[in-house]
Structure 1
Amino acid sequence: MNNSFVALILTHGRPDKVYTYDALRKLGYTGDIIVVVDNEDATLEEYKKRFPDVYVFDKKAEAALTDEGDNFQDRRAIIYARNASFQIAKERGYRYFIELDDDYFEFSYTYTASGELKQRSIHSLDKVFDALIEFKKRTGALTVAMAQRGDFVGGRENNIVQGEILKRKAMNTFICDTEQPFRFFGKINEDVNAYTVLGSRGALFLQVPHVAINQVNTQQSSGGMTDLYLDSGTYVKSFYTVMYAPACTCIRMMGTKHRRLHHSIRWNNAVPRILPERCKKA
């Protein structure tokens, strides 16, 4: 494992439900882990009792530096921890780090066999994280992410099953370099806001679908961002990205049984692309 790498678990209000910590150890990660908590967390002392390395950052101070995209004065959001992570890792002497939410119970390889989507547990996370760091360095990506299970919806017709090998987005997990800092913006949907706006300026946000995280359903685990999502719903969440990237974002219905409003990215309008050689003028 790269000795200048650390896993940061961003969490709030649920010290008894930091599933990611145990998942990392169970699945072969032997490196350092820092549990990142803010100083407005009422359960802070319980975190300190449960975990050997807890970093407490000043949430109000971080909010003063963050473009929240609203004036609601509500800081129940992960964006502050995301933005603080670069300084935390640098202060602790690490160059590379991965930002992780607290609700992962599995890290898995994802692959296709006979047109079907398959997954199996990763048992060598050290090697996977090393590979993602190397991939980031070689591609020049600003950040690299693992896939989420929702990226594979659609079965045989899913783009990844059909052969797509990369996506121009990064959500939930972020492999980052303290020497290439960037900031998230928009109190909710901060990851989508970042990859659309910064992506439109030429920054590479890449998702590798071959490795993925499995999460507890967002609104079945109290604490974290759950309360904010329940209060505002996906309608408000999605409109943050419409505000930041109106040229490429719209709102549409998503889902089959439980339909809901969600953002939709028009990728032809979102990021620069390399033209194929056949388009070159004679």
Structure 2
Amino acid sequence: MFDLIKAVVLGILQGLTEFLPISSSAHLRIFPELFGWGDPGAAFTAVVQIGTELAVLIYFRKDIWRIGKAWVLALFKPEWRGSDDARMGWFIIVGSLPIVILGVLLKDIIERDFRNLWIIGTTLIVLGIVLGIADRIGPNTKKIDALTMRDAVLLGAAQAMALIPGVSRSGATISMGRFLGYEREAATRYAFLLAIPAVVGAGLFQLPEIPGGDNAYGWGPTLVGTIVSFLVGYAAIAWLLRYVSTRSYTPFVIYRVLLGSATLILLTAGVLSA
């Protein structure tokens, strides 16, 4: 029963933090340790993220259907090959390759070494500062339809950095988008779309680990956590897109630096175990 309660709490945490540029994987590593629950495991983290990506699929269903339809039609009909939606399909595919390839090649290192809290605390601070700089100096001029293949590759490489907990998939992608001059709403929207293949793929890749192995809870609590993360995540998407259309990422930068600093201080004091 207690595992179910923990899974609900972690599902809420995942839903709230997946789309904000503050790293959901860092929160799923730090807070269970702080509560004395221990590490829920990389498998639990990967699978519960499927819930939030299901929220993305539903929220952006019209965009995804339009892009997917145009991409398939462009394979057979030349007149569709220059359309913005068909190009976006290729951008998402190409942009997903870095994180997929590195995720498979570095699986053991990600699950063992990268989940160290010293690394997570440091990346929260460093990438938070990077996000703040990108948001401040990046020209707010490009819309999402200005995306090019070069930018798609760079944004995909940035997303791949999120294999290190604490970086934040959305935070890294948004930072690169802002450096490249994309509007906040455009950078955020593309970050959501680009994350779909990576997160769903990672969750499916980790499914065999759920009955045992690198998962502290098992199927029941993991499923509950995934459902909760979907419900909370859907609300978080709508809120964030409204928020970034008129405001900066500064509150998230401050939060990242504070959380990362607190994590390092608690590690030094022996309150947390790395």
Structure 2 length-normalised TM: 0.27
TM-score by length of 1: 0.26
Larger RCO, structures 1/2 (Cα 8 Å, 6+ apart): 2
Please state which structure has a larger fraction of its residues in strand: 1
Query: Which structure features the higher share of helix residues?
Result: 2
